[in-house]
A and B are shown apart, each in its own frame.
Chain A
Amino acid sequence: MFLQQLITGISIGGIYALLATGYSLIYSLLDFSNWAHGEFAMLGAYVAIVFANMVGVPFLIAAVLGVCGAALISFFCEKVVYRHIRSTGAPNMFLMIGAMGMSTIFQQVANLVFTGQYRSFKFKLPVNTIEIAGAYLGVLDLISLVLTAVILVFLMYLINKTKFGLNVRAIACNAYAARVLGVRVDRSIASVFLLAGSLAGVAGILYGMKYNVFPTMGNIGLKAFVASVVGGLGSVPGAIVGSLLLGVLETFVSGYVSSSLRDFFSFALLIVLLLVKPSGLFGVDVQDKA
């Protein structure tokens, strides 16, 4: 039972991590909370549903198209909305308000087009379990977990070992200096939106496979937000650790306490952490980003 819960928790945490890392990356570059991030996941899941269930392409191809869709929507949000808000020199609060607006619009559009109905992939998902050391582990959870781990390792490699990552980290430290030194700041930002959008797309599809696809499913973005604050806003490793912590906490609360208290515990964790260590577990100095 314990091992089972732990694996489920880590696999949910992994889905949060796919969202929280993108969320954190965008925060680290632009100093604002992209409230529309969860909706990128929702839209990616719908794109995959459309191709898998309505067009009838093989599931894997539909999933890839869903990921691309989420990446493009994220990219266009940056190109069409955020970049223009930035160029007016408006305070960051306006970016956040813009993001809230986008979030609501995306939810409403999904509701209009697809109705509020809960949809699932017409693809025989591996719902069976395998027995390891006396615990019954869901195959879907394991697949989700492995896929997420591979993606997150790749993400860490991108950020820490490539020129793209170096530029992103430089911009996060000091965008002005990066620009003066010849870093193509706008291009790097657009690439991060593509990357974050595609991670969100993967998260949305995995979540949709495990549960359902519905217009308000983007609210898991809120969990990713909690996770990245717990881990330390702007820190990618922090976002991963915060997400795993939150996923495991939620699963244990649901399993051993009560599933209706799940969110109570998640947000209590957030509040306690904000009181004790506002910069988060991996937090860089809050001052430093001001």
Chain B
Amino acid sequence: MAVLLKVENLKAAYGGIHALRGVSLQVEEGEIVSVLGANGAGKSTLLKCISAVMKRVEGNIEFDGKPISNKPYEIVEAGLVQVPEARQIFAKLTVEENLRVGAGNRKDTDGIKKDFERVYALFPRLKEREKQYGGLLSGGEQQMLAIARGIMAKPKLMMFDEPSLGLAPVIVTQMFEAIKELNKEGISILLIEQNANKALQISDHAYIMQTGLVVRYGTGKELLADDTLSAAYLGE
């Protein structure tokens, strides 16, 4: 399988705080790859650098065989979209408008129409609340909307930043099901999680980060079988 995303020796800092100290990882086409790690390990910073909403200090990022752009909208156009931490839906836009912003860089009117049907089929709740303001949705519905909004960009690779955070267990299970479903439909996934067990169960490969570095790498199965993992790295 071809490598879709390749990150090499990525370094990034907030002023004097070195949040990433040389991270390398890759996602192959069709894979689900997770990045796990305790709070403050640098996971969100990693995604911000890939999406180019934060400047990197050093390192290379390639997407789809080419060096990645430094403009966020060109990255989205190239087929790489992020579902950001804490959902960040547009509270004063309707559900439908939120989705239209997600599709903002596309010209294929028919494809957009089909994708509206596709996300409404995946999350029927969103269809029911199509005309409501995003801010009036429940936490779980907002997470569905955030994911659906990302799908509307027609990505090859979707990056999720802790999609299960703050959600009820039933909803969390639904969320992981939806991610698996998207992967089956052909979208590659880079998943950031603190819910290590659930993430590893659906992952082909996983990386474990600690204070700005990758400290473990393996297949989902290998890491699931490793009992020492959570105690050592995940702060559980």
Task: Write the nearest CB–CB distance from B37 to chain A, whole angstroms.
Answer: 21
Q: Given A166-B100, A176-B84, A183-B73, check contact A288 B91 (CB 8 Å).
A: yes
A173 touches B91 (CB 8 A): yes
The verdict on B97 contacting chain A, using a C-beta distance below 8 Å, is: yes
B92 touches A182 (CB 8 A): no
Task: Write the nearest CB–CB distance from A248 to chain B, whole angstroms.
Answer: 29
A180 touches B51 (CB 8 A): yes
Contacts of A163 in B (CB 8 A): 100, 104
Q: Given A176-B53, A284-B92, check contact A183 B84 (CB 8 Å).
A: no
**A178 (CB) vs chain B CBs: closest residue:** B101
B93 touches A181 (CB 8 A): no
Contacts of A179 in B (CB 8 A): 53, 72
Task: Write the nearest CB–CB distance from B85 to chain A, whole angstroms.
Answer: 10
With A and B bound together, what is the CA distance between A282 and B130 in angstroms? 24
A181 touches B53 (CB 8 A): no
With A and B bound together, what is the CA distance between A288 and B53 in angstroms? 23
A173-B91, A180-B51 are known contacts; what are 16 more A-B pairs with Cβ within 8 Å? A167-B101, A167-B104, A169-B90, A174-B88, A178-B90, A180-B82, A181-B81, A181-B101, A181-B104, A181-B153, A182-B73, A182-B76, A182-B81, A182-B105, A184-B73, A288-B91
Query: Out of B89, B90, B104, which one reaches A182, CB within 8 Å?
Result: B104
Residues of A within 8 A of B (CB): 163, 166-167, 169-170, 172-174, 176-184, 284, 288
A169 touches B76 (CB 8 A): no
With A and B bound together, what is the CA distance between A52 and B53 in angstroms? 47
Contacts of A172 in B (CB 8 A): 92
Per-residue contact bits, chain B 40-76, to A (CB 8 Å; 1 contact, 0 not): 0000000000010100000000000000000011011
Of A170, A177, A184, the most chain B CB neighbours within 10 A belong to: A177
15 interchain pairs, CB-CB under 8 A: A166-B97, A170-B90, A173-B91, A173-B93, A177-B90, A179-B53, A180-B72, A180-B81, A181-B76, A181-B101, A182-B72, A182-B104, A182-B105, A183-B104, A284-B92
A173 touches B90 (CB 8 A): yes
Contacts of A284 in B (CB 8 A): 92
The verdict on B77 contacting chain A, using a C-beta distance below 8 Å, is: yes
Contacts of A167 in B (CB 8 A): 101, 104
With A and B bound together, what is the CA distance between A177 and B73 in angstroms? 12
With A and B bound together, what is the CA distance between A190 and B228 in angstroms? 53
Of A170, A172, A174, A181, the most chain B CB neighbours within 10 A belong to: A181
Contacts of B75 in A (CB 8 A): 182
A182 touches B53 (CB 8 A): no
**A28 (CB) vs chain B CBs: closest residue:** B92
**A288 (CB) vs chain B CBs: closest residue:** B91
Q: Given A163-B104, A181-B81, check contact A169 B53 (CB 8 Å).
A: no
Q: Which 6 pairs across A and B sit closest by C-beta, in order of nearness?
A: A182-B76, A177-B88, A173-B90, A182-B73, A170-B101, A182-B105
With A and B bound together, what is the CA distance between A179 and B70 in angstroms? 12
A176 touches B88 (CB 8 A): yes
B92 touches A169 (CB 8 A): yes
B100 touches A177 (CB 8 A): no
Contacts of A173 in B (CB 8 A): 90-93
With A and B bound together, what is the CA distance between A184 and B73 in angstroms? 6
**B48 (CB) vs chain A CBs: closest residue:** A180
With A and B bound together, what is the CA distance between A144 and B161 in angstroms? 52
**A172 (CB) vs chain B CBs: closest residue:** B92
**B87 (CB) vs chain A CBs: closest residue:** A177
With A and B bound together, what is the CA distance between A169 and B53 in angstroms? 20
The verdict on B102 contacting chain A, using a C-beta distance below 8 Å, is: yes
